[in-house]
Chains A and B, each alone.
Chain A
């Protein structure tokens, strides 16, 4: 530092008092013997003083604006203080209920629990209606499956990356059952693989999901508007089939799909 002239960084840091003491001392020694650097340091100090003065004068807060901000600040801090004091002073309220209120509460709970139980035994028909709607939509001529193939090696890979789960398809389907293709769909708020089959002359829609669609554990089948809905659990997956085919034929298809999910 002593033999060379000072850098801009050094001068800047020096006039801001940001140089370590040893560096500052070295710089001062250099300035004492170098007229050019001494002048640059003085010039930098004068510039700093002048720019500080000009900057301060440029943006002076109007008194009325400061008053408003001050008022807002005081109001907010007072509110905070009041909230704390109120919370601290407020005694815990002990409410004494007469005996009959406890009885009423118990009765309400009983009715509520009973209702929930009843609801699980008699689920709303929205789910089966939704399944049926999806099945009927598939039957309409205007909605071809997104993947059209009877080859399980084509249909299954098509779902890869589109669903948060994977599934297997059986090597052989029951007699008279043909895989037509598949769709990606949402049933009851969850993603599902929809597999489309023909069973004889009937159509069958099979939904594979991660969470069960069946209303409760004991349910394995149901009917909706003349269509059969069958449920099966298969390892990590849940199978729901909808068709107007003979229930036993549909059961064979569901069973074949369930067996295919078993680890080999």
Chain B
């Protein structure tokens, strides 16, 4: 049970993050109803566990970690895990280097549809780490905490994600 000021603090910290949580949840499960369920469950869990949150650490990383764990036990994640999802087999994802020039890439970046498609085609594990970095603005250390992986893994996944995007857009960095 939280003290009133802790409840207020939780509300103050969590409310601004709801759009981000929803957005990330949707990226993970690709279903609006399920995305909402996952965020609601995440908020409930986070509130119950808020006593364990250390105020000198990043709340966003903390609650995103809860969101991710909640997603991993969701219908979609369990169903997808039967095929191949979040955990590894990444080595099998080849980055094809078709080598147009960086200038060509710059031109293609204006094509949002192509980029959107490239993001869609990205391996979920690479897309997830890229979203946490670029959209959510988390630092590598915080992403490592969310994903429970070493910081070096975060670094290499982000780099790999970008190279894959470039390759899918027809170029390479």
- Residues of A at the B interface (CB closer than 8 Å) are 8-9, 11-13, 16, 18, 39-40, 42-44, 46-48, 50-62, 65-66, 68-70, 72-74, 76-78, 80-81, 83-85, 87
Contacts and interface: CB of A to CB of B under 8 A. Distances in A.
Contacts of B58: none
Contact of B11 (A46, A50, A77): A77
B159 A8 contact: yes
B106 A56 contact: no
Contacts of A65: 22, 32, 35-36
Given A43-B173, A48-B134, A76-B47, A9 B159 contact: yes
B112 A56 contact: no
A16 B133 contact: yes
Given A16-B140, A61-B26, A73-B43, A55 B135 contact: yes
Q: Is the interface of A mostly helix, strand, loop or mixed?
A: helix
Interface stretch (B1-9, B70-78, B79-87): B1-9
A52 B109 CA distance: 12
B130 to A, nearest CB: 7
B27 A58 contact: yes
A13 B155 contact: yes
Given A12-B159, A72-B43, A73-B43, A61 B102 contact: no
Nearest to B3: A84
Nearest to A43: B102
A18 B140 contact: yes
A55 B119 contact: yes
A213 B43 CA distance: 53
B18 A73 contact: yes
B70 to A, nearest CB: 13
Given A58-B27, A73-B43, A80-B47, A46 B155 contact: no
Contacts of A56: 23, 135
Closest CB pairs A-B (n = 6): A61-B22, A12-B159, A59-B26, A43-B102, A59-B23, A77-B7
A69 B22 contact: yes
B102 A51 contact: no
B19 A48 contact: no
A85 B26 contact: no
Given A48-B134, A74-B11, A76-B47, A9 B155 contact: yes
B158 interface: yes
Given A44-B162, A47-B105, A55-B135, A66 B18 contact: yes
Contacts of B125: none
B30 to A, nearest CB: 9
B169 to A, nearest CB: 8
B2 A50 contact: no
B115 A61 contact: no
B145 interface: no
B165 to A, nearest CB: 6
Contact of B39 (A55, A69, A77): A69
Contacts of A18: 139-140, 155
A73 B11 CA distance: 7
B115 to A, nearest CB: 5
A81 B102 contact: no
B47 A55 contact: no
Contacts of A50: 109-110, 112, 115
Contact of A77 (B10, B32, B158): B10
A60 B4 CA distance: 32
A1 to B, nearest CB: 16
